[in-house]
Amino acid sequence: MKTLLSLFCLVTYLTCALSANGWPVSLDMACDKALSAVACSFEFTNNANEDLYLLKRNTPLEGLYSQFVSVSLDGRPLEYEGIYIYRLPPTKDEFALLKAGESISASVQITDAFSINTDGLYTVQYSRPLQYLSVNEMNAMFIDQLKDSSACESVHIYLEGTDLFSRPKEQKVELDYTVYIESCTAANFNGSRDNDNTLEAHKRLCAGIDKAKGGVGNNNLYVTWFGAYTAARANTVKDLYGKMRTGLGSKTVTYYNNGPKCKDHPNAIAYTYKSYSQTVVYLCDYFYKEPIACKGTSYTKERTLLHEWAHAFAARDDEGYGPDKCKGFAKSDPAKAIRNADNFSYHYCESQ
């Protein structure tokens, strides 16, 4: 028993030999209990013989604004309860210049995004590749040529007294007015900014989702966005569209103008939280500049809203963005494509 307790109390670091495997950017992480929270620190090191620009987006270098770690208790995964931000492609100010041999670090409280309320042995694992550009690529603004550096660091930590830990919090919403809509129940608005156009995009969603769901089958459109057809995967896609349709048709949803977190992310379009019951989408500056209706793979209000409700009503993740990345998921990993909100937004719009 003493040996077992000693094992539980030991924090074990499992590190991939990234530099030995040729990855140019390596990661070291550690997690510790800090009062009523669990804080994790992350250090990124440039192992290459040249300077690199490391993308801060989807890493702790920008704070806890995406799911870059997964957390499990005795092998059972915990649900991520943090924010999902839908954004334009990154610009130079979202990169950190990491000179050859240098490191950069950041820390976050994972209890801000995961409910840790049971004592036991937890595993915190880094779950996203690190993305970077060379100096020449950055100077040429080849943002669409981001390279990936694998990061597979994880930490085991035994936690006690978890009933005292803080819990994830969402923004409180005060409503200004409600608009009732035939077939799509009702929409609340917090604030007033281009609300007529937002409402027009919202009204298109219910019939649009029915059309997209009805078009799911063994066809080119399905294969393009969700990969090789199988009846089981197609039924999953239909079921997830059904969850979005039911959510919009049975719940009063809210559009929060000028979301409070938008100011911290200049390239943000909108954001929400992943849930089967979340009913608020927060809108940012770029959303108001988008045209209303779907137009291929372009950024539009209709596609943005579908993307956000895929998080809120179908609990989809952000595995990646953009048509090329989403088509790549469909081709190489159909299960990932079905987990990804942006794949649904493209399939939806090209179904219309």
Task: Report pLDDT digits (tens) over 247-300.
Answer: 999 999 999 999 999 999 989 999 998 776 789 999 999 999 999 999 999 999
Dist CA 135 CA 127 (whole Å) = 26
Mean of pLDDT values over 69-84:
93
Give ∠ CA 42-47-50 in degrees, rounded to 5: 125
Dist CA 272 CA 170 (whole Å) = 9
Residue 10 has pLDDT above 80, yes or no: no
Residue 6 has pLDDT above 50, yes or no: no
Residue 316 has pLDDT above 70, yes or no: yes
Q: Where in the chain is the domain with CATH 3.40.390.10?
A: 188-351
CATH class of domain segment(s) 25-164: mainly beta
**pTM for the full model?**
0.88
pLDDT digits (tens, 9 = 90+) for 137-185: 998 877 777 888 888 799 999 999 999 998 887 666 777 767 877 778 7
* Window from 5-14, 51-60, 114-123, 259-268 with minimum mean pLDDT: 5-14
Mean of pLDDT values over 223-251:
97
Q: Where in the chain is the domain with CATH 2.60.40.2970?
A: 25-164
Dist CA 206 CA 222 (whole Å) = 20
- Whether 256 and 173 have beta carbons less than 8 Å apart is answered as yes
For the chain, give the percent of residues with pLDDT over 90.
Answer: 76
Residue 14 has pLDDT above 90, yes or no: no
At residue 18 the predicted structure's pLDDT band, cuts being 50, 70 and 90, is very low
Residue 16 has pLDDT above 70, yes or no: no
Partnered with residue 190 across adjacent β-strands are 256
The two tokens of residue 67 are 């799911």
Residue 37 has pLDDT above 70, yes or no: yes
Dist CA 246 CA 48 (whole Å) = 50
Round the average pLDDT of the chain to a whole number and report it.
89
> What kind of architecture, by CATH, is found in domain 188-351?
3-Layer(aba) Sandwich (3.40)
Q: What integer pLDDT is reported at residue 13 of this predicted model? A: 37
Q: What integer pLDDT is reported at residue 23 of this predicted model? A: 83
User: Residue 101: which region, alpha, beta or left (left: phi > 0; alpha: psi -120 to 50)?
Assistant: left
Mean of pLDDT values over 193-200:
94
Q: What integer pLDDT is reported at residue 276 of this predicted model? A: 61
Residue 131 has pLDDT above 60, yes or no: yes
Q: In 186-292, which residue ranges form alpha helices assigned H by DSSP?
A: 195-214, 220-226, 231-250, 285-289
| Cα distances (Å, whole numbers) of residue 44 to 20, 61, 96, 102, 106 | 15, 9, 11, 8, 9
Residue 1 has pLDDT above 80, yes or no: no
At residue 27 the predicted structure's pLDDT band, cuts being 50, 70 and 90, is very high
* DSSP H or E stretch at residue 290: none
Residue 132 has pLDDT above 90, yes or no: yes
Residues in the chain: 352
Higher pLDDT, 95 or 176: 95
Instruction: Compute the chain's Rg from CA coordinates.
Output: 21
Higher pLDDT, 14 or 329: 329
Q: Pick from 239, 241, 253, 240: which is nearest to 203 by CA?
A: 253
